[in-house]
Amino acid sequence: MSLRIGCHFPIENVVAEAEAVGATAAQVFLGDPQKWKVGEVAFPGGNEGLKAAATAADIMLFVHCPYIMNVASLSNRTRIPSRNLLKATISGAAKIGAKGVVVHGGHLKDDEDLVAGFINWRKAIDDIDPKVKVLIENTAGGQNAMCRELPQIEWLWQAISTSPNGKHVGFVLDTCHAWAAGLDLETVVSDITAITGKIDLVHLNDSRDGAGSGADRHAPLGKGQIPPDLLVQIVKEAKAPVIIETHGDPSTEIAWLKERL
């Protein structure tokens, strides 16, 4: 199968927009990314309509969880709703035939113990009904982040591996986030796969800021601070579906990558 490349699209018109730009993959939110709710999707025919349309068009779907989630949190007011929302998002993703559910690694407050956050992640994975694979995404900033630097990613994976559902968890490599975190993009694919076993999805984004900035500001491909050859190298090495989140014109971004592959 050829490499699947796509972008993040509005769910209400995702299949038509993906087909229009030659995308074979697409990422969507099931609802408002700033709300604690997952309902029937805003697509003609609802969940079944989207599943049928994406299948007919051969579009591989990925669902991104709401940004407000933080299953690592030590606060009951955040952790418990986050865990419930993760489960609801997995259920919703299964209804549309999605390949994976993308969720940010989350963080703790500066004075909190990271170990407690890793334990909370393990408990969250214990609690899911693994209808769709959970794909944890690396983050750009925050000194007490669960999934920013390589040691933390390794500790997180060690915790998750103790869960009976651990085999249903995968990894999303976001290139802008990795660059912002100060990871070496020359070796990041091998560094990550040494920990997780594989990369399940690449979020291919350039960065408006310099390496190690901690800033999560995406730029169109080839127009930011990341050397273009490194972006292409990561795609080739990861051998995983690609979702572009640069907010640039989807057809231009997809063409940029295809030309270089």
Q: Which residues contact 84 (CB under 8 A, 6 or more apart)?
A: none
Q: Please name each of the domains of the chain with its CATH number.
A: 5-260 (3.20.20.150)
At 186 the pLDDT is: 98
* String of DSSP letters for 77-98: HHHHHHHHHHHHHHHHHHHTT-
Position 176 confidence tier, pLDDT thresholds 50, 70, 90:
very high
Q: What is the mean pLDDT of residues 237-247?
A: 97
CA angle, residues 157, 161, 166, in degrees to nearest 5: 105
The distance of Cα 149 from the centroid of its chain, to the nearest Å, equals 16
* Neighbouring C-alpha atoms within 13 Å toward the C-beta of 197: 9
At 143 the pLDDT is: 84
Question: Which token pair is 92?
Answer: 């919703």
Is residue 70 within 8 A of residue 137, CB to CB? The reply is no
Is residue 142 within 8 A of residue 161, CB to CB? The reply is no
> Residue 102: helix, strand or coil by DSSP?
strand
Average pLDDT of every residue of the chain: 96
> Residue 68: helix, strand or coil by DSSP?
coil
Question: Mind listing the pLDDT tens digit for each residue in 202-213?
Answer: 999 999 999 999
At 100 the pLDDT is: 98
Q: Is the pLDDT of residue 36 over 60?
A: yes
What CA–CA distance (Å, rounded) separates 130 from 80? 18
Position 222 confidence tier, pLDDT thresholds 50, 70, 90:
very high
Question: Mind listing the pLDDT tens digit for each residue in 134-153?
Answer: 999 999 988 899 999 999 99
Closest to 177 (Cα-Cα) out of 227, 213, 144, 201: 213
Question: Mind listing the pLDDT tens digit for each residue in 43-90?
Answer: 999 999 999 999 999 999 999 999 999 999 999 999 999 999 999 999
pTM of the model: 0.96
* String of DSSP letters for 168-229: GEEEEEEHHHHHHTT--TTTHHHHHHHHHS---EEEE-EESS-TT-----EE-TTSSSS-HH
Q: Is the pLDDT of residue 1 over 70?
A: no
Is residue 138 within 8 A of residue 102, CB to CB? The reply is no
Q: What is the mean pLDDT of residues 14-37?
A: 96
Question: Mind listing the pLDDT tens digit for each residue in 113-134?
Answer: 999 999 999 999 999 999 999 9
12: left (phi over 0), alpha (psi -120 to 50) or beta: alpha
**What percentage of the chain reaches a pLDDT higher than 70?**
100
